[in-house]
Amino acid sequence: MAPHRRSRPPSPMGIRTPAIATAALTSVALLSQTANASPSEEPRPSLEEVEKKVGDLYRQAETASEKYNAAKEKTTKQKKRVDTLLDDVARRTEKLNDAREELGTFAAAQYRTGAAAPDTASLLLADNPQDYFDQTHLMDRLTSRQKQSVDDYVTQQTATTEKRQEASESLETLTRTQSSLKTSKADVQRKLATARDLLSKLTTEEKARLAAIERQKQEEAQRKADELARQQAADAERRRQEAAQGTGTSTGSGIASGTSGSAASTAKADKALAFARAQVGKPYVWGASGPGSYDCSGLTQAAWKAAGVTLPRTTWDQVKAGTTVSVNSAQPGDLVFFYDDISHVGIYIGDGMMIHAPKPGAYVREESIYYMPIHSVVRPA
């Protein structure tokens, strides 16, 4: 009988218990997930951060809009200049061709009378035809009329060359300005698209909270406007009493006094305000100056144009087009500018209020001048 053989115990590495196998599979799965995981998403911004970001984007877009307005105005002026120069060059070139033909006739006439045969090609291509005539001894044989024609040709040739150079430089300037125009336009569109994207991601609850924050800002701005109106009314009453007593000097100006400035200036301001009021409810569109839509400086420019006063197109130029006065001395029709970069403007209507084209998505409306930080107040007329 064969000796009994004891079976060899299984190798510890040969068989795995269910617990060990599960743990191993879990580890592999975790490692696989870690390897394939995408970068973690950025944390969602808070409502306050969204509000600030959107506000900043609107301001930046308005600044870019003013750059667009400036470039557009320059483009219009430069295009007119280029067109004028090119027309001038065309006229001069035509005259130059006529004069060149006449010079060729003179040279041929000299040849027929026995002078040395002229090199007509050299004559017509010469930088200075008079030098050519001198060098070929033809000048002595020309009549006084023919000599005058040579002088006129030289003058026309020089002037035409200068005008061509001027036109070329103006075209280069126009091209650069048009490039700036496109850049500003793209900048506005990019910032507005970013703002719309941020707002579109808000929940219904967040939009309601954002609207509540906006109402609070409006109420605080209105409170300050009412305070200014009371103060200016009190100042106007004090001036009236001083004037009645003969002790005051009629040097101040106020919203409610109605005594400041000449009758002509007041009449112009009334016309500007009447125009601005008629635009209330029309949409804000960047770069627009009416009649169906406006941006901020487009509205103020159009309003004062209706009063017979020409204002520049941009806020940066409008702020220089008049007399700077204090906020407490603001009168209806004055222009109120906002922010350190002077990127927004409205037209004052009294009682701390203005009419302005606010921002994309909004409409021309009345609003407290304290809704935004005031830069300065300017009286156009």
Cβ atoms 378, 315 nearer than 8 A = no
Q: Answer yes or no: 296 catalytic.
A: yes
Which of 51, 73, 38, 47 is closest to 310 using CA atoms?
Answer: 73
Q: Is the pLDDT of residue 165 over 60?
A: yes
- Rounded mean pLDDT, 63-85: 91
- Strand-pair partners of 345: 337
Q: Is the pLDDT of residue 88 over 70?
A: yes
Q: What is the pLDDT, as a whole number, of residue 113?
A: 57
- Rounded mean pLDDT, 295-306: 98
Other Cβ atoms less than 10 A from the Cβ of 88: the count is 16
Q: What is the pLDDT, as a whole number, of residue 103?
A: 66
Q: What is the pLDDT, as a whole number, of residue 234?
A: 92
pTM of the predicted protein model:
0.70
Strand order through the sheet with 344-350: 323-325, 374-379, 335-338, 344-350, 353-356, 365-368
User: Measured in Å, how far apart are the chain's first and last C-alpha atoms?
Assistant: 132
Q: Is the pLDDT of residue 276 over 90?
A: yes
Round to whole Å and give the CA distance between 129 and 204: 82
Round to whole Å and give the CA distance between 177 and 180: 5
Beta strands in the chain (DSSP E): 323-325, 335-338, 344-350, 353-356, 365-368, 374-379
Cβ atoms 356, 203 nearer than 8 A = no
Contacting residues for 350 by C-beta, under 8 A, at least 6 apart: 229, 255, 256, 331, 332
- Rounded mean pLDDT, 258-275: 81
Q: Answer yes or no: 375 catalytic.
A: no
Q: Between 381 and 31, whose confidence is greater?
A: 381
- Rounded mean pLDDT, 348-376: 96
Model confidence over 193-211: pLDDT tens digits? 999 999 999 999 999 999 9
Which of 360, 317, 361 is closest to 342 using CA atoms?
Answer: 317
Model confidence over 34-48: pLDDT tens digits? 445 455 556 777 888
| Confidence grade of residue 350 (pLDDT, cut at 50, 70, 90) | very high
| Confidence grade of residue 332 (pLDDT, cut at 50, 70, 90) | very high
Q: Is the pLDDT of residue 13 over 60?
A: no
Round to whole Å and give the CA distance between 13 and 25: 16
Handedness of CA 108, 110, 116, 118 (dihedral sign): negative
- Please provide the average confidence, as pLDDT, over all residues in the chain: 81
- Rounded mean pLDDT, 185-196: 94
Q: What is the pLDDT, as a whole number, of residue 15?
A: 44
| Confidence grade of residue 142 (pLDDT, cut at 50, 70, 90) | low
| Confidence grade of residue 94 (pLDDT, cut at 50, 70, 90) | confident
The per-residue b/e assignment along 25-39, b for 16 or more CB within 10 angstroms, e otherwise, is: eeeeeeeeeeeeeee
Round to whole Å and give the CA distance between 199 and 54: 8
Q: Between 193 and 119, whose confidence is greater?
A: 193
Model confidence over 230-256: pLDDT tens digits? 999 998 899 899 888 876 554 444 444
Q: What is the pLDDT, as a whole number, of residue 135?
A: 52
Local structure of residue 313 (DSSP, 8 states):
S
Round to whole Å and give the CA distance between 275 and 270: 9
Q: Is the pLDDT of residue 139 over 70?
A: no
| Confidence grade of residue 341 (pLDDT, cut at 50, 70, 90) | very high
Q: Which of the following is catalytic: 4, 137, 296, 375?
A: 296
Residue 69 phi, psi (nearest 5): -60, -40
